Each structure stands twice: as C-alpha cells, then as structure tokens.
C-alpha cells in the first residue's frame, strides 16, 4: 500500500505506479460458487465427510469398548489407528497433489 500526499495526487504530473492486480474476496466466495460447487469440490467434501465419519465412529466405538470392560479390544483399535493414520495422511496428501488441477 502506498501513501501519497493529496496535493501530489491532484497535480497533473502524478503518474500512478502499476503493480500486481488486487484480487477480490468476492470472486472466490460468491453465492453461486457455494450453492453450485464443481464436481471436484464435491469430491473433496465427500472425502472429508467420510474421513470425519470414520474417525468419529472409531472414537465412539473405542470409548464404548473401554467403558464396557473390553479394554484389550479398545487398546488394539487405538494401536491400529496410531499405526494407520500417519500413512493414510501421507497417502491422502500425495493423492491430493497428484489430482489437484491447480498445481
């Protein structure tokens, strides 16, 4: 952002400096883009919703098993999730990078 004196701005010798164009937030977050997303965005929403459902369901299952006296099964689930989640995250990031049309 550039601050200039008003008198300098109003003088005929003032020349505006050209720079990078500013992008508006309205072009990224508009009502049509929210209500009618592209198929790629819908796939992203579906992946996030399914992953969240699986994680929350697993947490509830683990809690139920731990409070029901089946701590060994709950411990097995925790150990499985601890081993699988880092690899699943890396795989998801690789798939995202390979399928992202903007990169």
Task: Give the range of the structural domain holding residue 48, as residue numbers without chain letter.
Answer: 35-103
Q: How many domains does the chain have?
A: 1
CA dist 58 and 88 (Å) reads 15
The CA distances from residue 23 to 18, 20, 28, 45, 83, in Å, are 15, 9, 9, 25, 43
Determine, yes or no, domain membership for 9.
Answer: no
| Burial class of 58 by CB neighbour count within 10 A (0 to 12, 13 to 18, 19+) | middle
Determine, yes or no, domain membership for 57.
Answer: yes
- Reading the chain (103 residues) residue by residue, the pLDDT tens digits are 567 777 777 777 777 766 666 555 555 666 776 777 778 778 878 888 888 898 899 889 989 998 998 989 989 988 988 899 889 888 888 887 787 766 6
CA dist 90 and 78 (Å) reads 19
Q: Which residues contact 97 (CB under 8 A, 6 or more apart)?
A: 103
The CA distances from residue 91 to 70, 86, 100, in Å, are 32, 9, 14
């Amino acid at each position: 952002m550039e601050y200039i004196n008003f008198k300098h701005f109003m003088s005929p010798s003032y020349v505006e400096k050209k720079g990078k164009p500013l992008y508006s937030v309205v072009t990224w977050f508009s009502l049509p883009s929210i209500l009618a997303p592209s198929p790629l965005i819908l796939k992203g929403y579906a992946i996030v919703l399914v992953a969240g459902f699986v994680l929350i369901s697993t947490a509830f299952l683990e809690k139920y098993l731990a409070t029901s006296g089946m701590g060994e099964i709950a411990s097995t689930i925790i150990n499985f999730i601890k081993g699988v989640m880092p690899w699943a995250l890396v795989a998801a990031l690789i798939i995202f990078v390979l399928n992202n049309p903007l990169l």
